[in-house]
Structure 1
Amino acid sequence: MGSGEAAPDGKKPRHLHWVAPYYIALACVTVAQFERFVAATGHDAGEDWKKDRDRPEHPVRYVNWRDARAYCDWAGLRLPTEAEWELAARGYGGLEYPWGDDWEGGRRVCWDKQKGPGGATVPVYAHPEGVSPLGGFQHSGNLWEWCEDAWDEGVYRRYAGGDFRPPEEGKYRLFRGASWGIKYPRYFRAAYRRSDGPASRYGSLGFRPARTVTF
């Protein structure tokens, strides 16, 4: 997990990370799925997410961290930790991108130079050529994806020391994966991480759920 010493703080050091067994969705939650949740619960997620109602198979966007958690609670799921997300994105071999170690001109992702037909997202199962080693779609591109963890710039050094507890408290929440509006390849690396406030809603942010394995 993480990047080498040449990476900015917050993304290093690269380290081995223990992750308990878990499930994670192969794709982001769609507009259709989120609409069923809102209809069933009356959850107030604002109005902007409805802009894509005519694209039910696209990932829902304009959802904040709290909206994502509310959906997961309703569905009996949860948000992934960033360690779980990164493992699903780069596989056990620690690839640079979900499909391999080379950018390849961005032909495998939805990004600034290869957007969807509406000038933004593509359906959640588009670009199968960019699938991750564990079968996940669009871990790079289309939308940034909320994770459960709070932002902690120094947490990787704690992880490298063997303390794998993710940070729970903090002003900001993590998201991963880059989006349709990004034009710089470095943002699409599986180790790249960003954060924002849990109330933030953008047209570049969505989520994919996870679930704990119980024995």
Structure 2
Amino acid sequence: MCKSFSLLLLLPLLFLFSCQSNNVKNEEKAKKDSLASCEKNMPSRFGAVKDTSSFAGNKVSHEGMVLIPAGQFAMGASDKEGRDDEYPQHQVKLASFWIDVTEVTNASFKKFVDATGYVTTAERKPDWEEMKKQLPPGTPKPPDSVFVAASLVFYQPKSITTLNDASQWWRWVKGADWKHPNGPKSSIKGKENYPVVHVSWDDAMAYCKWAGKRLPTEAEWEYAARGALKNEKYPWGNEDIEKGKVKANTWQGNFPIKNTNWDGFNGLAAVKQFKANGYGLYDMAGNVWEWCSDWYRPDYYATLSGVANSPKGPSDSYDPMEPTVPKHVVRGGSFMCNASYCKGYRVTSRMKTSSDTGLEHTGFRCVSSN
């Protein structure tokens, strides 16, 4: 538990993230993130999202998309680096589909907001009646003064006591949202080609519906991320991320205290700054986590047998860390990922978070079946 959180931090996420297990005493566990979870203890913050039923889905344009050929692949980890929910590896068969070459950018998301008047989750005040459904029974209601529109922003501390307390590098900032990624005094001017962030799963779904597209299934995302490679750890192969040429926007150095910026970035990067994978897709590792359509269950892979034909994930969500909080899968890692803390840039790495949560390092890309 992250007992050092202020009341304001406790409101949206209760205990925020914990990207290590409760035991990080030995070096081996610190280097291996198989027990890590970057989305621990994240209760629902808000009530129902804006009704998107009136959104007129646009005719699908495949501009800026790549057609991924139909095929069969081995999904899940084949080595010993995976977390428990990445096993067993299993065969998946997929029909062809189109996928965005990059994450959805600020410029594209602005077109959606301008056309629909959509208000994102981070721009709305929390609904206590909805929030308390996912908090421990008897949790007292905080004062009304702390129920404000806000979002979580990364803060680089000078020192930390433990990697178990993520409140040391996350701050709950009033007025932070997709238009103001670092708080109310920040803007996206000049960053039109950066991935949109501070978007919840609900926000991503609304955008996809407007664009006439959808979020990728977890299977589609991993198949596309592999770029036609088989059983490789990363979209570029098996070479470690900090060996050879720069490959992705991640954290180099001592997380979260010092980033050497070897990759050229200290925080988010514009899209297309690194080499594309074998399918021509950019940033399938690092930069921002990407929402998938699937609910999350740690044992889902074990329920599949034979060749799974276009799996869409479980019918509901269950996270034993937070049984009352429904969660969706996020994939790909972010600019905060480091081997000592979160190796989420592996193609098989699975993380999860609640539908109404958005952060500075979470975005998405869309797919289309036709």
Is 1:18 matched up with 2:93? yes
Is 1:93 matched up with 2:232? no
1:68 alignment counterpart: 204
Amino acid at match of 1:58: Y
CA offset at residue 159 of structure 1? 3.0
1:2 alignment counterpart: 76
- 1:31 & 1:4 partners in 2: Cα distance? 36
Q: Contact 1:32–1:53 (CA<8 Å) still a contact in 2?
A: no
Is 1:58 matched up with 2:203? no
Give the structure with the higher percent strand: 2
Unaligned stretches of 5+ residues in structure 2 = 1-74, 124-175, 181-186, 253-260, 318-325
Answer with 1 or 2: which has the greater Rg.
Answer: 2
Give the structure with the higher percent helix: 1
1:210 alignment counterpart: 367
1:140 alignment counterpart: 285
Unaligned stretches of 5+ residues in structure 1 = none
CA offset at residue 167 of structure 1? 1.9
Q: 1:133 and 1:67, CA in 2 relative to 1: closer, same or farther beyond 3 A?
A: same
Q: Contact 1:178–1:188 (CA<8 Å) still a contact in 2?
A: yes
Secondary structure of 2:301's aligned partner: helix
| TM-score, normalisation: structure 2 | 0.54
Q: 1:70 and 1:32, CA in 2 relative to 1: closer, same or farther beyond 3 A?
A: same
| TM-score, normalisation: structure 1 | 0.91
1:193 alignment counterpart: 350
1:121 alignment counterpart: 268
Q: Contact 2:221–2:292 (CA<8 Å) still a contact in 1?
A: yes
- 2:194 & 2:204 partners in 1: Cα distance? 16
Amino acid at match of 1:152: R
Amino acid at match of 1:50: K
Q: 1:102 and 1:60, CA in 2 relative to 1: closer, same or farther beyond 3 A?
A: same
CA offset at residue 163 of structure 1? 4.1
Is 1:49 matched up with 2:184? no
Q: Contact 2:83–2:349 (CA<8 Å) still a contact in 1?
A: no
> Which range is displaced more, 3-12 or 60-69?
3-12
Once superposed, what is the RMSD of the aligned Cα atoms?
A: 1.8
Q: Highest relative contact order (Cα 8 Å, sep 6+), 1 or 2? A: 1
Instruction: Give CA deviations for 1:60-88 in whole Å, capped at 9, x if unaligned.
Output: 00000000000000000000001100011
- 1:102 & 1:86 partners in 2: Cα distance? 18
- 1:168 & 1:53 partners in 2: Cα distance? 37
CA offset at residue 160 of structure 1? 4.2
Instruction: Give CA deviations for 1:23-54 in whole Å, capped at 9, x if unaligned.
Output: 11111000011011011101111251102522
2:338 alignment counterpart: 183
- 1:158 & 1:133 partners in 2: Cα distance? 30
- 1:132 & 1:182 partners in 2: Cα distance? 19
Amino acid at match of 1:48: D
